Structure 1
Amino acid sequence: MPELPEVETTRRKIAPLVTGRTVLEIEHFSPDKYPDTELAHGRIISEVQRRGKYLILPLADQAGGPADYELIVHLGMTGGFRLEETQHTRLTLRLNDGALHFHDPRRFGKVRVVRVGDYAALPTLAAMGPEPLEDDFALEPFAEAAAKAGAVKPWLLSQKPVAGVGNIYADEALWRAQIHPAQTRLSAEQAAQLHTAIREVMEEAVNLGGSSLGGGTGNYRQHDGDWGGFQLQHAAYGRGGQPCPRCGTPIEKTVLGQRGTHHCPQCQPS
C-alpha cells in the first residue's frame, strides 16, 4: 500500500494542482531520506506521470521547455498528499501559488530529485516491467517468463513481470485466476488467466479510486478527503476466515515471501 491504483488516483488528483507551477522550495529536515530536492527549486513542473508505484514529475527551466530533472515520489506504506500540514507532515512542496504537504505516518515514503531517466539510485524503478493497462503488457512474453518463474506471488511483487502489482492486487488477481500464490512455473493457460485477471483487477481498482483499508479510516486517502472504494470488492485480500465469494470455503491467510497472503484453498489448490 499504496499500489498502482492508489498512485494513479493520486496522480490524477494532484496533476491539476501542480502542473505548470514553479517549485519555490521543498522543505524538510531529512536530507538523507529526501536527497537532492534543492535541485527542483526554481523549476517548473511540466506534468505528473506515473510508473508502477512511483510518481514522476518532470522539471523544466522554463514553461514549455524540456525537462532536465525529475522529482520522484514513492508513497511507501502510508504516504499521501494533503493541502494542510498534519502532525505527520514530512515534506512540503511550496509552489508559486500554493503548497502540498507530504503526509507519511510510518515514514516509508521516498522523495528525491534525479536527472531525467537516471534511476541508478532507484533499482526497482529502473528494472520495472510493463504497465498492466498498456499495450506493452503482452501475453506472450508474460507467459514465457511465468513458465520459468518461482513462486508466482513473490514473482509478481518483484515488479519485473508487470509494474505496480503489490500485496493487495496480487492476492486479488491470483484469486480470480484460481492460481495458488506459491505455485511455480505456470502453464500457458494459467498465465493467460492471470494476465487477464491482472488487467481486470487493476482497471476496476483504478475506476474505484483504489483501496482504503481499516473500514474507511485506514492508511490511504486523497488530499481532498476521498477514500478508495475497491476494498468493498476484495474477494481474498484481508478476508482471512471469511467465506470465499466463489465457493464458500473460508479464505486462508498465510505468509509467503514475508508477506501476508490470502487465498481460497478450494479454488486455488496447491
Structure 2
Amino acid sequence: MTAAPDTSPERLALLLRLLDDDSPPVRASVEAALSAYDGDVSELLGEMNIDLSEADHELLSLLLLPARRERLRREWVVPAGGAEAVQDDWDQFEALLRSLSDYLHDGVTMRQPLGDALDLLAEELEDIGDHQGAAGLNKALFESGRFKPNIHEEDEPENYDIAHVLAGNPSNALGMGLVFLFVAHRLDIDVEGISLPQSFLCRFHEDGQVMMTEPAVKGRTVTSEDLAHRIRRYPREIRSLAARPAAPGELLVRLVEELATSWSVRGETVDAELMEELLATLVKAPF
C-alpha cells in the first residue's frame, strides 16, 4: 500500500525554509513535494499564521502552478456533447468556472471559493432583487461602481477568475457580465447575456419594456438603436448574436478561448496549450 503524501503544517514549514535555495536539485525537490498540496496551500498558511515576503509569495505560487494545472485537468469533466451539452446547465457551468478559478488563483492568498462568494453576494442583494428586480441589481453592482472594469488590462488572465472578481477586483466585459448573470440566476431573476466581440450586454424586462445594460461601462443603458449602430459593420453571423441570449455553453467557450489568447500573447505557452486542451473538450477543432 502506497503511503499517503505528507501534507502536514510541519512539512510545509520545512519546504518554505527551502525556498531561498535556488539550486536546481533542491528547487526540483521542493516543487515535487509541493505537488502533494494540490496547488493550494492558502488555508494551511492561514492556520500557520505565516507572512511571506512578496518574493517568496510569487515563488511559492509559481512552484504550486504545475499542481494547479493537473488539478484543472482532473476536475474538468465535460459531458460527451461538449459545449452543446452544457447549454442551459448553469450548475455545470459554475462547476467548470470554479475549477478555472482555482487554477487561476495563486494558491497562496486566502479567499472565498467561487460558490460561497456568489451565495454571499446574492444573499446581500436579495432584498434589492425582490423589490427592484434586474434594474436594481444592475444599479447595485455596476452603477454604484462596486464592480469596476479593468480598462488597462482587458486581456489579463485574472479578469476571468470570477472568484477574484467577486473579491472586489476589476474585470473585463465578460467577467463583469458573468457576475450579473450568476447573481440574477441565484435570485430567480430573468437576465440574459448578449455576447459580442469585446463587449457584453445584459438584457432583461422592466415594466414590460426590454432593457439592455453594459456592466463594463457602469451598467449604462444601451438602446436598440445604440446596439444596431454599434454592430452594423459586423459580419452577419456576429450580428445575429445580438438577437438571442448566449447559453452557458457558449459563454464557457468564449471564456476559455479568451484565456487561451491571453496566455498566448504573454508567451505563456504551457498555459495557452492547456486552454487549447480544454477547448477540444468543448468544440470540434478548428476553434
Structure (1 or 2) with the greater helix fraction: 2
TM-score, with structure 2 as normaliser: 0.29
Rg (Cα) greater in structure? 2
TM-score, with structure 1 as normaliser: 0.30
Structure (1 or 2) with the greater strand fraction: 1
